[in-house]
Amino acid sequence: METSPPLLRLSNITRSFPGVLANDRVSVDFHAGEVHALLGENGAGKTTLMNILYGLHAPDSGELLFEGRPVRVGSPAQALRLGIALVPQHPLLVERHTVAENLALGLRDGLLLTRRRLLAKLRERLADHPLQVDLEARVESLSAGQKQRLEILRALLQGARVLILDEPTSVLTPQEVAPLFQQLAQLKAQGMAILFISHKLDEVLSHADRITVLRAGRKVGELSAREATHEQLVRLMLGREAVPRPRLAPAQPGVRLEVTNLEVRSDRGLPAVRGASFTLAPGEILGIAGVAGSGQGELVEALAGLRPFRGQARLEGEPLEGLSPAQLFARGVAHVPEERRAGTVPAMSVAENLALRTFRTALRRGPWLDRERMERQATELIQAYQIATPGPRAPLRLLSGGNIQRAVLARELAGAPRLLIAVHPTYGVDVGATEQVHRLLIQRAREGMSVLLVTEDLDELFALSHRVAALYQGALRGPWPAGEVDFERLGRMMTQAAEGAA
Backbone angles phi, psi at 349, to 5 degrees: -75, 165
∠ CA 79-80-86 to the nearest 5 degrees?
A: 85
**Residue of 8, 10, 22, 407 interacting with ligand ADP (CB under 6 A):** 22
**DSSP string for residues in 442-498:** HHHHHTT-EEEEEES-HHHHHHH-SEEEEEETTEEEEEEEGGGS-HHHHHHHHH-S-
Helix axes 431-446, 401-414, angle to 10 degrees: 10
- Show the beta-strand stretches assigned E in 69-134: 69-71, 84-87
Residue 335 within binding range of another protein, rule CB under 8 A: yes
Nearer to another protein, 188 or 335 (CB): 335
Terminal alpha carbon distance of the chain: 51
Residue 400 binds ligand ADP, judged by CB under 6 A: yes
In angstroms, rounded to a whole number, what is the distance separating the alpha carbons of residues 64 and 58?
11
Nearer to Mg ion, 16 or 252 (CB): 16
SS3 354: helix
**From Mg ion, ligand ADP, another protein, none, which one binds at residue 417 (CB under 5 to 8 Å depending on kind)?**
none
| The entry of Mg ion, ligand ADP, another protein, none that residue 329 binds, CB within 5 to 8 Å by partner kind | another protein
Q: Which of 120, 347, 416, 501 binds another protein (CB under 8 A)?
A: 347
Q: Which does 56 bind (CB under 5 to 8 A by kind): ligand ADP, Mg ion, another protein, none?
A: another protein
- Our finding on whether 46 is near ligand ADP (CB under 6 A) is yes
Name the segment binding Mg ion (CB under 5 A); options: 15-23, 43-51, 466-474, 486-494. Answer: 43-51
Query: Measured at CB, which residue is nearest to Mg ion?
Result: 47
346 vs 171: CA distance, rounded Å: 20
- To the nearest whole angstrom, how small is the minimum distance from the Cβ of residue 24 to ligand ADP? 11
Minimum CB separation from another protein for residue 357, in Å? Answer: 7
How far apart, in whole angstroms, are the C-alpha atoms of residue 367 and residue 415? 22
Nearer to another protein among residue 7 and residue 328 (C-beta): 328
Q: Residue 346: which of 410, 407, 395 has the closest Cα?
A: 395
User: For residue 93, what are the contacts with CB-CB under 8 A and spacing of at least 6?
Assistant: 102, 139, 147, 150, 151
Tell me which stretch binds ligand ADP (CB under 6 A): 40-48, 142-150, 199-207, 307-315.
40-48
Give whichever of 352 and 460 is closer to another protein, judged by the CB atom. Answer: 352
User: From the list 177, 205, 306, 475, which residue makes contact with another protein (rule: CB under 8 A)?
Assistant: 306
Residues 47-66 that bind ligand ADP (CB under 6 A): 47-48
> By CB under 5 A, which span of 44-52, 118-126, 302-310, 491-499 interacts with Mg ion?
44-52
Q: Which residue from 138, 140, 98, 139 is spatially nearest to 119, judged by alpha carbons?
A: 98
Total site size for ligand ADP, rule CB under 6 A: 12
- At residue 195, the 3 state secondary structure works out as strand
Of 55-63, 140-148, 167-175, 479-487, which segment contacts another protein by CB under 8 A?
55-63
- Cα(163)–Cα(167) distance, integer angstroms: 13
Using the rule CB under 8 A, which residue among 119, 238, 369, 388 binds another protein? 369
**283 is in the binding site of which of another protein, ligand ADP, Mg ion, none (Cβ under 5 to 8 A by kind)?**
none
Select 47 or 403, whichever has its Cβ closest to Mg ion.
47
- Residue 433 gets the label, from left (phi > 0), alpha (psi -120 to 50) or beta, of alpha
The verdict on 402 binding ligand ADP (CB under 6 A) reads no
- According to CB under 5 A, which one of 34, 37, 38, 47 is a site residue for Mg ion? 47
What's the CA angle centered on 198, arms 192 and 203, to 5 degrees? 80
Strand 368-369 versus strand 419-423 pairing type: unpaired
Which residue of 6, 43, 283, 392 would you call a contact of ligand ADP, by CB under 6 A? Answer: 43
**What is the CB neighbour count within 10 angstroms for residue 159?**
13
CA 303 to chain centre: 23
Q: Does 20 bind ligand ADP (CB under 6 A)?
A: yes
Which residues here bind ligand ADP, judged by CB under 6 A?
17, 20, 22, 40, 42-48, 400
Which residues here bind another protein, judged by CB under 8 A?
56-58, 74-75, 305-306, 324-329, 335, 337, 341-348, 352, 355-357, 359-360, 363-364, 367-369, 371, 394-395, 397-398
Which residues here bind Mg ion, judged by CB under 5 A?
47
